[in-house]
Amino acid sequence: DTGVSQDPRHKITKRGQNVTFRCDPISEHNRLYWYRQTLGQGPEFLTYFQNEAQLEKSRLLSDRFSAERPKGSFSTLEIQRTEQGDSAMYLCASSRAQGESNEQFFGPGTRLTVL
């Protein structure tokens, strides 16, 4: 399967702990996006990368959140000192930077539960 993969699929943690999620995009895609989806809501944009450059960050991305894409391939999203309000599905997507198809392909998500 050459789709977007995310790891882990589920994460349960205690408040105050740090967590890190990984996203592997489709190999030829140089754009990578992170979104957060809470129950009953649509996905909300967090940040995106073109290659290794982080081009935009949402105000939702507080200083406890950091995302990296060090070699322009996979990306990690770290949440420090987790809070119960961080409980959500974290979605990763990837796309080509240019071309006819501007579709963002989404991964299955990582569901975070903060106790």
Partner 1 sequence: AQSVTQPDIHITVSEGASLELRCNYSYGATPYLFWYVQSPGQGLQLLLKYFSGDTLVQGIKGFEAEFKRSQSSFNLRKPSVHWSDAAEYFCAVGSYYGGATNKLIFGTGTLLAVQP
Cβ of residue 107: shortest distance to partner 1, in angstroms? 6
User: Binding pattern to partner 1, positions 60-89, x when CB under 8 A?
Assistant: ------------------------------
DSSP string, 58-109: -TTS-TTEEEE-TTSS-EEEEESS--GGG-EEEEEEEE-SSSS--PPEE---
In angstroms, how far is the first alpha carbon of the chain from the final one? 33
Do 61 and 6 form a contact (C-beta atoms < 8 A)? no
Q: Which of 7, 45, 66, 76 binds partner 1 (CB under 8 A)?
A: 45
Cβ of residue 94: shortest distance to partner 1, in angstroms? 11
**Residue bearing tokens 């106790």:** 115
Please state, in angstroms and rounded to a whole number, the distance separating the CA atoms of residues 15 and 6: 22
Residue closer to partner 1 (CB basis): 84 or 101: 101
- When asked if residue 44 is in the footprint of partner 1 (CB under 8 A), the reply is yes
Query: Which residues form the interface with partner 1 (CB under 8 A)?
Result: 3-4, 31, 33, 35, 40-45, 48, 50, 55-56, 58, 91, 93, 95-99, 102-109
